[in-house]
């Protein structure tokens, strides 16, 4: 510990000797870095996708066929697949995530809150390739034998795995909002004779509902962009699936599996970037809306 | 009016999902542990050419260490600006929004961008360097948010004491606030590393290859990683998952230990900082 304190001291003296005025500029530049990167990202992904967009226009999103030989690049089955597994995942993750958040921040005794939050945080840190691996090892064979189908790589499998990856986002974001509800409000309700559950229902949930909504939107953004795990367990067949026991292909999984073979500058390459741009715009909108919802909620709260 | 029974039913209904999420974690951990048999310690030091994982482990470490070295300073400086300097106004709001949006960009898009920008536009190719730059974009928002939090909870009296002694604003921040916030800042960096150590989509086209001869000797060479190896073997080559069990376990242990260290650090320093409560 002594040693590291000395290093820390030396480091802080080094920084302190930098001039104050130019340092302000350096700090500002570092803070603006995220803006610059986002613009570069939009520009470069759009530039590579421009060819496909000018050639196909809305068909890139609405066309039903992706066929290299016929020069057809329609992403509708992929968009459909993405939305399907995302909604499937949210259907599972919302009830589990929101009730976990309420339970952890309102019901659980204090000494258990941090350990449980830590375990949920660990769940969030598991890499997606490991989730995909576990899915293949256990969930895929289970689904196949449970439903008696040939391949266990289905939209349902992908939704199950994705829900595990989305729950931590929902728990941590809505948990934070729920614990921010002022203690005095809750005490007032309890003082008037409300039970703990009535307090949660009439005080805590109405105040934190915009935060919970935002956490669900962030979960949506996380799930729709998930690539690796989904591409390992969803079966990867581009068609309009009619059942959750069909295999599906999602936009990110499709990009991941096709980029390697697409010749740089080709129409296919450009179409893949076009799909990427669509995904980027979707997540931008969802994340920005989530932020607005939180801010609006904070104003009313 | 809720009767006690009704009350109890509600709490049980709330508690079941919690147990489900806890079980999910233990189930994942238990599943992975059943594969410990397939992990022999020789793998750690044997070259991948002879069936080991040595280059992948070192490659993974190279990648996240470089990415953290790039994102760390930028993220910390950005956090200092946002907490201590930023005027509350439009520009600050836009910066704030941009950081949230960057955090929400799917990793596959980060990978696409890294490929067109770093690998092709800047000509870095499929290399360690492209991988560092690409992954640093994923660590950055985590470091900024974590450091902001750590800096914000340092009492302003620390800084004011330095200011009263005649230090400039920057001097007082770097000598007091930053020192007090250091553990929190380091924790956020470790969390960032945990986030990218197993990242696959972002390095798919930017820095990884399935097999190299030995370790990369310069940042302009591609690198082998654990996550890439698992993914390509399973998805592109259709190998059975059991074949990569050893690699999966090594990756899981690396990521888990970074997350655990971050969590323990946070608890430990929260106890050591009496001004927090």
B267 against B186, higher pLDDT: B186
Note the pLDDT of residue B100. Answer: 93
Q: Which residues of B touch A40 (CB under 8 A)?
A: 113, 117
Mean pLDDT value across residues A209-226:
94
Note the pLDDT of residue B276. Answer: 58
Note the pLDDT of residue A107. Answer: 85
CA proximity to B109, closest of A187, A282, A199, A210: A282
ipTM: 0.91
- Interface with chain B: mutation pick from A33, A103, A170, highest number of B CBs within 10 Å: A33
Residue in chain A lying closest to B110 (CA): A41
Residue A276 · residue B109 · CB < 8 Å: yes
CA proximity to B148, closest of A15, A31, A292, A4: A31
Note the pLDDT of residue A227. Answer: 95
CA proximity to B24, closest of A160, A143, A72, A292: A160
CA–CA separation, B131 and A274 (whole Å): 23
- Answer whether B264 touches A (CB < 8 Å): no
Average pLDDT across chain B, whole number: 88
Residue A139 · residue A165 · CB < 8 Å: no
CA proximity to A211, closest of A254, A248, A170: A170
A254 against B91, higher pLDDT: A254
Interface of B with A in 185-214 (CB under 8 A): 191, 194-195, 197-201, 204-205
Note the pLDDT of residue A229. Answer: 95
pLDDT band at residue B159, thresholds of 50, 70 and 90? confident
Q: What is the dihedral of CA A198, A199, A203, A204, to 10 degrees?
A: -110
Q: Which residues of A touch B241 (CB under 8 A)?
A: 133, 136-137
The Cβ of residue A191 has, within 10 Å, a number of other Cβ atoms equal to 9
pTM: 0.91
Residue B257 · residue B164 · CB < 8 Å: no
User: Which of A207-216, B79-88, B136-145 has the largest mean confidence?
Assistant: B136-145
CA–CA separation, A73 and A60 (whole Å): 6
Q: Which residues of B touch A109 (CB under 8 A)?
A: none
Which phi and psi angles does A72 have, rounded to 5°? -105, 125
Residue B231 · residue B248 · CB < 8 Å: no
Residue in chain A lying closest to B209 (CA): A260
Q: Tell whether the model's pLDDT for residue B277 goes beyond 60.
A: no
Locus of tokens 């836009």: B94
Reported as type and span, the H/E element at residue A284 is helix A267-300
- Answer whether B258 touches A (CB < 8 Å): yes
Residue B3 · residue A191 · CB < 8 Å: no
The per-residue pLDDT for range A275-288, each reduced to its tens digit, is: 999 999 999 999 99
Mean pLDDT value across residues B220-232:
93
Note the pLDDT of residue B47. Answer: 84
Beta bridge partners of A66: A73
Between chain A and chain B, the number of residue pairs with CB atoms below 8 A apart is 267
pLDDT band at residue A299, thresholds of 50, 70 and 90? low
Note the pLDDT of residue B113. Answer: 97
B102 against A2, higher pLDDT: B102
B98 against B277, higher pLDDT: B98
* A260 Cα to chain B: minimum distance (Å): 7
Domain residue limits, chain B: 1-38, 41-276
CA proximity to B198, closest of B59, B91, B73: B59
Interface of B with A in 26-85 (CB under 8 A): 28, 31-32, 73-75, 77-78, 80-82, 85
**Percent of residues, chain A, with pLDDT higher than 90:** 51
B194 against B208, higher pLDDT: B194
CA proximity to A216, closest of A174, A161, A178: A174
The encoded tokens of residue A251 equal 């936009």
CA proximity to B147, closest of B68, B80, B70: B80
Q: Which residues of A touch B234 (CB under 8 A)?
A: 132-133, 136, 232
Residue B54 · residue B48 · CB < 8 Å: yes
The per-residue pLDDT for range A195-216, each reduced to its tens digit, is: 888 888 888 999 898 999 999 9
- Interface with chain A: mutation pick from B2, B112, B182, highest number of A CBs within 10 Å: B112
**Percent of residues, chain B, with pLDDT higher than 70:** 97
Note the pLDDT of residue B147. Answer: 94
Residue in chain B lying closest to A229 (CA): B231
Q: Tell whether the model's pLDDT for residue A2 goes beyond 60.
A: no
Distance from the first to the final alpha carbon of chain B: 37
Note the pLDDT of residue B1. Answer: 46
Q: Could you give the residue ranges of the DSSP H alpha helices within chain B? A: 4-33, 42-45, 54-80, 90-104, 107-114, 128-152, 156-164, 169-172, 178-197, 226-231, 245-272
CA–CA separation, A169 and A97 (whole Å): 8
Note the pLDDT of residue A4. Answer: 65
pLDDT band at residue B69, thresholds of 50, 70 and 90? very high
Q: Tell whether the model's pLDDT for residue B2 goes beyond 90.
A: no
Note the pLDDT of residue B21. Answer: 75
Q: In this complex, do A125 and B31 lie within 8 Å of one another by their Cβ atoms?
A: no
Beta bridge partners of A174: none
Note the pLDDT of residue A71. Answer: 77
- Answer whether B247 touches A (CB < 8 Å): no
The encoded tokens of residue B41 equal 């310690």
* A65 Cα to chain B: minimum distance (Å): 23
- Give the one of B75, B178, B204 whose C-beta lies nearest to A256's C-beta: B204
Residue in chain A lying closest to B175 (CA): A12
Architecture label for domain B41-276: Orthogonal Bundle (1.10)
Question: A103-113 burial string, b = 16+ CB within 10 Å, else e?
Answer: bbbbbbeeeeb
């Amino acid at each position: 510990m002594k040693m590291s304190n000395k290093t820390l001291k030396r480091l802080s003296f080094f920084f302190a000797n930098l001039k104050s005025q130019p340092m302000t500029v350096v700090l500002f530049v570092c803070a603006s870095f995220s803006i610059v990167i986002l613009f570069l990202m939009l520009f470069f992904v759009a530039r590579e996708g421009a060819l496909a967009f000018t050639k196909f226009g809305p068909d890139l999103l609405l066309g039903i066929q992706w066929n290299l030989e016929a020069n057809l690049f329609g992403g509708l089955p992929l968009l459909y697949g993405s939305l399907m597994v995302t909604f499937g995942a949210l259907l599972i993750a919302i009830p589990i995530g929101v009730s976990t958040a309420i339970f952890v921040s309102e019901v659980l005794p204090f000494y258990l809150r941090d350990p449980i939050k830590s375990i949920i945080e660990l769940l969030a840190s598991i890499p997606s390739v490991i989730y995909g691996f576990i899915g293949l090892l256990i969930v895929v064979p289970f689904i196949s034998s449970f439903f008696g189908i040939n391949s266990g790589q289905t939209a349902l499998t992908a939704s199950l795995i994705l829900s595990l990856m989305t729950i931590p986002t929902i728990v941590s974001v809505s948990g934070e909002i729920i614990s921010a509800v002022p203690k005095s409000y809750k005490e007032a309700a309890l003082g008037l004779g409300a039970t703990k559950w009535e307090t949660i229902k009439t005080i805590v949930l109405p105040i934190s509902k915009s935060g919970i909504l935002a956490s669900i939107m962030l979960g949506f953004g996380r799930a729709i962009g998930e690539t690796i795990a989904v591409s390992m367990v969803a079966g990867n067949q581009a068609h309009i699936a009619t059942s959750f026991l069909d295999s599906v292909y999602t936009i990110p999984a499709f990009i991941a599996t096709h980029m390697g073979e697409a010749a740089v500058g080709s129409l296919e390459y450009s179409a893949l970037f076009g799909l990427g741009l669509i995904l980027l715009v979707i997540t931008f909108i969802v994340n920005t809306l989530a932020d607005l919802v939180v801010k609006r909620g904070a104003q009313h709260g | 009016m809720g009767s006690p029974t009704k009350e109890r039913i509600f709490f049980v209904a709330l508690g079941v999902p919690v147990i489900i999420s806890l079980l999910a974690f233990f189930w994942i951990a238990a599943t992975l542990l059943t594969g410990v048999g397939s992990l022999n310690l020789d793998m750690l030091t044997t070259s991948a050419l002879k069936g080991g994982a040595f280059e992948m482990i070192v490659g993974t470490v190279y990648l996240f260490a470089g990415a953290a070295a790039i994102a760390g300073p930028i993220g910390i400086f950005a956090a200092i600006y946002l907490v201590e300097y930023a005027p509350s106004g439009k520009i600050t709001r836009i910066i704030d929004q941009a950081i949230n949006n960057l955090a929400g960009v799917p990793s596959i898009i980060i990978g696409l961008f890294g490929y067109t920008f770093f690998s092709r536009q800047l000509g870095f190719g499929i290399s360690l360097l492209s991988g560092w730059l690409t992954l640093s974009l994923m660590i950055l928002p985590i470091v900024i948010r974590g450091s902001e939090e750590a800096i914000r909870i340092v009492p302003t009296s620390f800084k004011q004491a330095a200011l009263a002694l005649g230090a400039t604003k920057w001097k007082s921040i770097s000598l007091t606030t930053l020192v007090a916030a250091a553990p929190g800042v380091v924790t956020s960096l470790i969390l960032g590393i945990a986030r990218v150590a197993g990242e696959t989509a972002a390095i798919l086209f930017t820095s990884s290859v399935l097999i190299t001869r030995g370790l990369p000797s310069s940042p302009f060479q591609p690198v082998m990683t654990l996550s890439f190896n698992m993914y390509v073997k399973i998805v592109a080559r259709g190998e059975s998952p059991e074949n990569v069990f050893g690699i999966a376990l090594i990756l899981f242990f690396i990521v888990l230990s970074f997350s655990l260290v971050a969590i323990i650090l946070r608890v430990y320093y929260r106890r050591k900082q009496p001004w927090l409560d």
